[in-house]
Amino acid sequence: MTQIDSSTADETGTEHRMLRLTVNGDPAALVVTPYESLNSVLRDRLNLTGTKRGCDTGGCGTCTVQVDGQAIYSCMYPALRAEGRSVRTVEGLGRDGEHHPLQTALVEGGGVQCGYCTPGVLMASCALYAENPDTDADDLAEELAGNLCRCTGYVKLIEALAGAGEQMRRDGHV
Ligand code: FES
Ligand code: FES
């Protein structure tokens, strides 16, 4: 990786800048162009392929990650905007080798079929619980309207996530 501290341009005139951020608690530094999305940086440069790419136009939600705790569509988020910020992906959801309760709930509750929407659903619902620990099934349904799932019909998916919320409140997880 070329290390540069300020903006430079290559022979085609394309600008390159250093991006420094934290990803799942680990510092990362790499050179990017202003055209690269956070999704591209995560998947193609940092090999964090748990975050999916679907429509690449902000219409499906499968690319959802958290930036400073907020759920965002990484395909629409310029990588350079993440400078100095904390990014969390599905790879950073579990702790100490254990799945996050939302992950366990989705698997055990039949909320995963093909799984393509799952990372985005998890990151969006996790951010929602962090913002509002009393999140209920209606809140989840509203939030996840931006995360398209072509398989589950949402019923089991929402039931599983809402059930996990009850468990997390009992366990003091949220
Ligand atoms: S890939 Fe980002 S919203 Fe579809
Ligand atoms: S489980 Fe297949 S798209 Fe949601």
Q: Give the chain's mean pLDDT.
A: 94
Provide the percentage of residues in the chain whose pLDDT is more than 70: 97
Nearest CA to 140 out of 152, 125, 130 is that of 125
Domains of the chain by start residue, with CATH: 7-92 (3.10.20.30), 101-171 (1.10.150.120)
Q: Is residue 93 scored above 80 in pLDDT? A: yes
pTM, entire model: 0.93
Are 119 and 79 spatial neighbours (Cβ–Cβ below 8 Å)?
no
CA terminus-to-terminus distance, the chain: 39
Whether pLDDT at 103 is above 60: yes
* Ligand index nearest the alpha carbon of residue 151: 2
> Distance from the CA of 158 to the center of ligand 2, in angstroms?
13
Q: What confidence tier does 148 reach under pLDDT thresholds 50, 70, 90?
A: very high
DSSP letters along 33-97, please? Answer: -TT-BHHHIIIIIS--TTS--SSSSSSS-TTEEEETTEEEEGGGSBGGGGTT-EEE-GGGTSBTT
Rg from Cα positions in the chain: 17
Nearest CA residue ID for atom 2, ligand 2: 114
pLDDT value at 4 more than 60? no
Q: For residue 28, how far is its CA from the centre of ligand 2 (angstroms)?
A: 30
Closest ligand 1 atom to residue 56 Cα is 1
Which of 74, 167, 168 has its CA nearest to residue 120? Answer: 74
Tens digit of pLDDT for each residue in 155-174? 999 999 999 999 999 988 88
Q: Which residues surround ligand 2 with Cβ inside 6 Å?
A: 112-117, 149-152
